[in-house]
Structure 1
Amino acid sequence: MSLAELDRLLGSFAQRGVDLGLDRSLNVLERLGNPQNQVPIVHIAGTNGKGSTCAFVDAALRANGYRVGRYTSPHLISWCERLQLNGQPVSSDRLLQAVQTVLTAADGIDLTPFELLTAAVWLVLADSDLEIAVIEVGLGGRLDATNVVAQPLVTAITSIGHDHQAVLGSTLGAIAAEKAGILKANCPVVLGVLPSEAETVIRAQADRLQAPITAIEPATVIESGLWQSQGLTYQSGLIGDVQRINSAIGIAILRQLQQQGWILQDEAIAQGLANTSWPGRLQWLDYQGRKLLIDGAHNLEAAIALRQAVDQLFPDQSVTWLLGMLRAKDAQAVLATLIRSGDRCIAIPVPEHDCWAPQELQTWAEGLGAITATAADWAEGLAIAQSYPQAIVFCGSLYLLGDFLQNLQATGY
């Protein structure tokens, strides 16, 4: 019942939507005794890649024997996925209790759903006997509810691309300025491979704050399945060329922690990187006797990374795309990036979300030379896809994948 109550409580706040700002969170946290200051954190922002980077850092720290919390978003199936304590999702009872505590403290303060959940997460982290927490920014950075810790151990910005422009700004420079809001005075910052316009903005902010910068290069491929970065040779538990960047960012974060006195052995770091998992991102699944590649590619930069992975996995082959997208996303740009002439595309809706109609997606896909169909839902779409011999790639929205994975879990597939 606690999961249902969590859904009810957080869902009742949904009409608040996105309303960025720190005052509400800081006021509530002050009433709660400022739990956000009780566990050292690594703070990670970025348009794409921040979740994977969090997963790499978390796994490597745990492989070195540290007790680690990790907070990421969104979830695929349950709110509890967002908060991992030593590699395990927080229990629904414990998270619900923390949410109820926050609601009591927030009397008179109109929190957004993310602010409510994040305040509850700080409470649980403070009461979990942890040595460190890895925190992913929800949206942007400067005014995100996670940006309430005065002095993180390390910050990182994984990537800058066009997403959430209505909230963060229409240019890469404006988006970068929002994400650079997580930088703190004298706190080291790790940068991924960024567009020059964005990097210029972030470096200027780092200079103002005297925040030392480490700018990474993608890991080098030394042989199939084996990468090298910053003196470390390792295998990645996550597939896709983009993980050469995300894993290198993770290693740079860990190197910064080493410089601060954290005891991290390279052998254990490599073990953690190899054991990293991140559901819903370039993930292989078995479904009714067929392999599916699933990925929540929901914006242009994520679509580029997915297309690169597909080209590596299925060189010179057409594929079958099963795809649904939220209306807030640039579906035409994503489709143009993913689809090649001769591919098949089955367009479907995203359940219980404002999404592009399958017929709209179908029209754009046809214009790209795809053989198209529409389906009423993912189950019908997968039935169509399975009648074709090509590899099946199921993508477009994490909410869509979450609905699929929840059904798999419930039916025991």
Structure 2
Amino acid sequence: MSTDAILARLMTLHPRAIDLELGRIQRLLDTLGNPERRLPPVVHIAGTNGKGSLVAYTRAMAEAAGLRVHTYTSPHLVHFNERIRLAGTLIDNAELEAVLEECEQANDGQLITYFEITTAAAFLAFARHPADLLVLEVGLGGRYDTTNVVNNPVVTAVTPIGIDHTQFLGPTLRQIAREKSGILKHGVPAVIGRQRPEPAAVLVEDAQALDVPLFRMGHEWRMETRDSGFRYESDSLALDLPAPRLVGAHQIDNAATAVAVVERLRAAGLRIGDDAVRKGLATVEWPARLQPLVRGPLVDALPAGCELWLDGGHNEDCGLVLAEQSRAWAREPGALPLYLIFGMLTTKDAGGFLRPLARHATSAWAVPIPDHASYTPEEACRQADDVGLTCLPAPSVPDAVEDLLANVHPPFRVLICGSLYLAGTVLAKNG
């Protein structure tokens, strides 16, 4: 039985609609003997943007110190195994199939969401492998997210909060922040990344109610960008650090937030030295986040001097981040004109994502996302036109590249963006 076949079978157990609650997952975990209570020390991460990057930085720094690190992230890009990393190594197919089938049998045909039953499988695997740390990313929200059955993390962290998943979390920043702050636990230190004033106020309110020691960017710790990287300072630590390997000004924020997490982990007794922090910044990997593609059929199709980039961001704040990087590219000597190839799920605000980018891109091609409920190329082009971005429809990314080559004189820069699911499709087919 292949992993894909088991996952397809588990999808048939999914309720008609997703209602955020913890009853189903807790029932299944109780049947499994509560593996969520037998985990290594947990860093629990919520937020709208930057969660996965914070997981990647924290893991890289801890592993550079010689620690064994589990991680849990979602969604995956190409293979489901990407979600579950056991002491530094992706879970293999045999073990993944075994824990999925064990959860299926324990669930005994009852309704349960795909994320709930696969998270239970991850907890089983984590509980059975020794490690020094588990870096656990929230799936959706926080308060009623499946991962929030972990009641005793050593540190929680909240990355920047923005508008996303409004159908589940509410339409306002305040409502969304209240859901994200649901991962805060009584007396457990919370590292807070850069926030807008409204979410920041909610986090302070909820932290005070739970006697949570806050460790906030701009308050208990600070970050200052330097030409060579950045400086991190708190009352007990000052470090001059190199720029992280991941591209974009926003990644300095994410990297500094990881240093703040490491500082709290040190206070909890984990040995992660300054050299490990530096090595982690230099070695971190996190695909489809402003990732330059350097090989594969799409790259081979482009003339010399052209660049191909991939990013999975899909909301307005991600559009702002990409616009900031576009401005940085435009300031480079011999700056290349920028063209977009994008596809987006129908649950996302395509106009909000594209609006910040419209002034920086020469034009765009819109594509569907295979096997997902995405805007048709024609629908996506209308949304692009509404924000002043010239757009043409294409049936696929390779077709968009082919059309671009037929109409644009090289060299140029291409950014494929709009969805992690589209990014996964590109990575799967591009080597």
| Matching of residue 281 in structure 1 with residue 282 in structure 2 | no
Higher mean displacement: 255-264 or 135-144: 255-264
Matched, 1:177 2:178: yes
Change (3 A) 1:273 1:62: same
Q: Partner of 2:427 in structure 1?
A: 405
Contact 2:369 2:422 in 1 (8 A): yes
Distance change >3 Å, CA 213–CA 120, structure 1 → 2: same
What SS is found at the alignment partner of 2:249?
coil
Aligned to 1:122: 123
Match of 1:148 in 2: 149
Q: What is the aligned partner in structure 1 of residue 4 from structure 2?
A: 4
Please report how far the alpha carbon of residue 403 of structure 1 lies from its aligned counterpart in structure 2 after TM superposition.
Answer: 1.1
Unaligned runs of 5+ in 1: none
Taking a change above 3 Å as real, the CA distance of residues 304 and 10 of structure 1, as seen in their structure-2 partners, is: farther
Moved more, 349-358 or 201-210: 349-358
Distance across 1 between alignment mates of 2:109 and 2:389: 54
Does structure 1 residue 56 correspond to structure 2 residue 57?
A: yes
User: Structure 2: which 5+ residue stretches go unaligned?
Assistant: none
1:32 matched residue in structure 2: 32
What are the within-5 Å matches in structure 2 for residues 252-263 of structure 1?
252-263=260-271
* In structure 1, C-alpha distance between the alignment counterparts of 2:7 and 2:395, rounded to whole Å: 26
Q: CA deviation at 1:349?
A: 0.9
- SS of the aligned residue for 2:293 comes to strand
CA distance in 1, matches of 2:274, 2:247: 21
Q: How many residues align?
A: 408
SS in 2 for 1:242: helix
In structure 2, what is the equivalent of residue 353 of structure 1? 372
Q: What is the CA-CA distance between 1:318 and the residue it aligns to? A: 3.6
In structure 1, which of residues 387, 394, 400 is the aligned counterpart of residue 416 of structure 2?
394
1:307 aligns with 2:323: yes
Task: Give, in whole Å, the separation in 2 of the partners of 1:15 and 1:403.
Answer: 27
Contact (CA 8 Å) 2:13, 2:110: kept in 1 or not? no
Structure 1 segment 182-221 matched on structure 2, within 5 A? 182-217=183-218, 219-221=223-225
Deviations 1:27-79 (A, max 9, x none): 11111111112122100000010000010001111111111000000000011
Mean alpha-carbon deviation: is it higher for 308-317 or for 264-273? 308-317
**Contact 2:70–2:133 (8 Å) recurs in 1:** yes
- Separation in structure 2 between the aligned mates of residue 351 and residue 364 of structure 1, nearest angstrom: 20
Tell me if the contact between 1:343 and 1:369 (Cα under 8 Å) persists in the aligned partners: no
- How many Å separate the matches in 1 of 2:263 and 2:186? 19
Match of 1:340 among 356, 359, 381: 359
* Higher mean C-alpha displacement, 389-398 vs 43-52: 389-398
In 1, are the aligned partners of 2:68 and 2:88 still within 8 Å (CA)? no
The SS at the match of 2:252 is: helix
Deviation at 1:12, TM superposition (A): 3.2
Aligned equivalent of 1:238: 246
C-alpha spacing 1:406/1:98, structure 2 compared with 1 (3 Å): same
Q: Cα 1:341–1:74, aligned 2, differ >3 Å: closer, same or farther?
A: closer
CA RMSD of aligned residues (A): 1.7
2:310–2:423 Cα contact (<8 Å) kept: yes
Partner of residue 73, structure 1? 74
Counterpart position of 1:223: 227
Are the structure 2 counterparts of residues 178 and 367 from structure 1 closer, same or farther at C-alpha, using a change threshold of 3 Å?
closer
Question: Partners of 1:20 and 1:92 in 2: how far apart?
Answer: 29
For 1:46 and 1:67, the matched residues in 2 are separated by 25
Equivalent pair of 1:342/1:369 in contact (CA under 8 Å):
no
Moved more, 156-165 or 80-89: 80-89
For the residues of structure 1 that align with 2:359 and 2:193, how far apart are their CA atoms? Answer: 29
Deviation of the 1:197 alpha carbon = 1.1
Residues 9 and 321 (structure 1 numbering): CA distance in 2 closer, same or farther, change over 3 Å? same
Q: CA deviation at 1:108?
A: 5.2
CA contact (8 A) 1:322 1:346 kept: yes
Query: Deviation digits for residues 228-272 of structure 1, max 9, x if unmatched?
Result: 223221330211111121111111111001111111110011101
Structure 2 CA distance, aligned partners of 1:382 and 1:15?
39
Aligned-residue sequence identity (percent) comes to 37
> TM-score, normalising length from structure 2?
0.91
The change in CA–CA distance for 1:62 and 1:163 in structure 2 (over 3 A counts) is: same
Deviations 1:352-403 (A, max 9, x none): 1111121122233334443432111111012223443321000001111111
TM-score (norm 1): 0.94
For the Cα contact (< 8 Å) 2:367–2:393, is it kept in 1?
yes
Question: Which has the larger displacement, 379-388 or 21-30?
Answer: 379-388
Letter of the aligned partner of 1:33 in structure 2? G
Match in the other structure for 1:364: 383
1:46 alignment counterpart: 47
Task: State the AA in 2 paired with 1:50.
Answer: K
